[in-house]
Amino acid sequence: MNLNELLNIKARNNPDSLLRLLITVAFISIAVVVIVSGYGFYRIFAGFVIKNAENDTVRLCKVLIEQQKELMFVTAPGNQVVLGLHGTETLAFDRSLRHYLTPFNIIKVKVYTTGKKIVYCTDPMLIGKIDQDNLRLKNALNGNIDAKMVTKEKARDLADEELLDVDVVETYVPIRAPDNKILGSFEVYMNITEYRDQIRMGAMVVTLLMSFVMVGVFGFAYLLMRGGTVQLKEVQAQLEMIAITDPLTDIPNRGFLITRGDEEFERMRRSARPLGCIMLDLDHFKRVNDTKGHLAGDCVLKEMALRLKNSVRPYDVIGRYGGEEFVVLLPDTTFEQSLLVAERIREKIRCESFLADGNRLKITVSLGVAVSNETDRSLSDMIKRADEGLYKAKADGRDRVSWMRL
């Protein structure tokens, strides 16, 4: 696996991106749960209120039928029981019904025949009308109880007082004769506006509790993942450092050197600024390993890397190219300037002895110098010229700086 592949994998598996994904999922999940649960609990509470209103209405209607059965039911020819409430019967029924319903939250009552005609209503203006297209009335006339909560902008109660923004449960209750035959239907409006705030408050409290639970769960998960991502980032940083660092000299290895060099080469091509390159090799390094041992050789290589660091600018790129070969890349540096840097490195290596495994060693280096030009198609072209300059320096006697003329 090369360095670019490693960096691409790191970008795809960035722990911070996983953490951001968790936070995004958490916010979306909490929002969905809050909305769905809030609506669900509201519907549950509202349904409970509607069911209670329906049951109360059914009981009221049964009591009304029992109390007013002499006015509501009349016997037609052939001993057939039909719905009454005609003429003076309606007035007596109205007085009795209003008196009985005063303690309750009933704001309107209608009585329909099987022909869907209104024969009684607490609003006299509606008496005599036929509600032909009322599907809920049709359902009640088929023997079913039909209750539904609606909000009305305006309504009038039994005392003829105007009410604004009222929540009512509209309930249709079949009117049954003593022989269980359906003779018509009640439509009763029960005012439940007083429960509106309770329904909303109940739904809000339950939703908030659910939100707190969700936040707690995701918060705990976040803390666990946060700790895990910190450790993962540390491991990734260590792996990345291992992948780009030469383990002996603690400077960039050849792979990272080439990657950074390609970046600098492309930047140089865009800006038309020069890029210098120095390749250097330790003279007679095999003799050090053979006479002083590989441990001494390792000490020399480490000291070499340290001296290179101290001989160049912070933004210059140095790396171990292989064995005892090192490369220095010098952004924005002309050929003449590169020669001066190479000479400074040579002098620093030559004039100061190396302490290697208790031995003082005299080390020299050969250096090849090259600078980018218009004919270079890639970084390798420039490194190749620097390498040729290095071999020329060795051929000319070592311990010198050389270059190949274009």
Domains of the chain: 1-244 (3.30.450.20), 254-403 (3.30.70.270)
pLDDT of residue 303: 94
Residue 329: band (very low, low, confident or very high) from pLDDT cuts 50, 70, 90: very high
What CA–CA distances, in Å, run from 109 to 125, 171, 185, 187, 219? Answer: 13, 10, 10, 6, 54
C-beta atoms surrounding 245 within 10 Å: 16
Percent share of the chain, pLDDT over 70:
95
Q: What are the two backbone dihedrals, phi and then psi, of residue 66, each rounded to the nearest 5 degrees? A: -65, -40
User: Is the pLDDT confidence value at 3 over 70?
Assistant: no
User: Is the pLDDT confidence value at 268 over 80?
Assistant: yes
Q: Are the C-beta atoms of 58 and 187 separated by less than 8 Å?
A: no
Residue 11: band (very low, low, confident or very high) from pLDDT cuts 50, 70, 90: very low
Comparison of pLDDT for 389 and 162, the residue scoring more: 389
pLDDT of residue 306: 94
User: Is the pLDDT confidence value at 70 over 90?
Assistant: no
Over residues 244-273, the mean pLDDT reads 92
Element at 171 (helix H, strand E): strand 162-176
For residue 57 the two structure tokens come to 């209405």
Q: pTM to 2 decimals?
A: 0.52
User: Is the pLDDT confidence value at 59 over 70?
Assistant: yes
Buried b (16+ CB within 10 A) or exposed e, 6-16: beeebeeeebe
pLDDT of residue 88: 67
Over residues 121-147, the mean pLDDT reads 91
pLDDT of residue 13: 56
Residue 365: band (very low, low, confident or very high) from pLDDT cuts 50, 70, 90: very high
Comparison of pLDDT for 229 and 261, the residue scoring more: 261
Residue 138: band (very low, low, confident or very high) from pLDDT cuts 50, 70, 90: very high
User: Is the pLDDT confidence value at 339 over 90?
Assistant: yes
User: Is the pLDDT confidence value at 200 over 80?
Assistant: no
User: Is the pLDDT confidence value at 178 over 50?
Assistant: yes
Over residues 261-277, the mean pLDDT reads 92
| Cα atoms in the 13 Å half-sphere on the side-chain side of 234 | 5
For the CA atoms of 135, 140, 141, 144, the dihedral, rounded to the nearest 10 degrees, stands at: 130
pLDDT of residue 406: 64
pLDDT of residue 300: 95
User: Is the pLDDT confidence value at 49 over 80?
Assistant: no
Whole-number Å distance between alpha carbons of 278 and 365:
12
Residue 188, judged by CB atoms within 10 A of its CB (0-12, 13-18, 19+), counts as buried
pLDDT of residue 30: 79
User: Is the pLDDT confidence value at 250 over 50?
Assistant: yes
Comparison of pLDDT for 69 and 377, the residue scoring more: 377
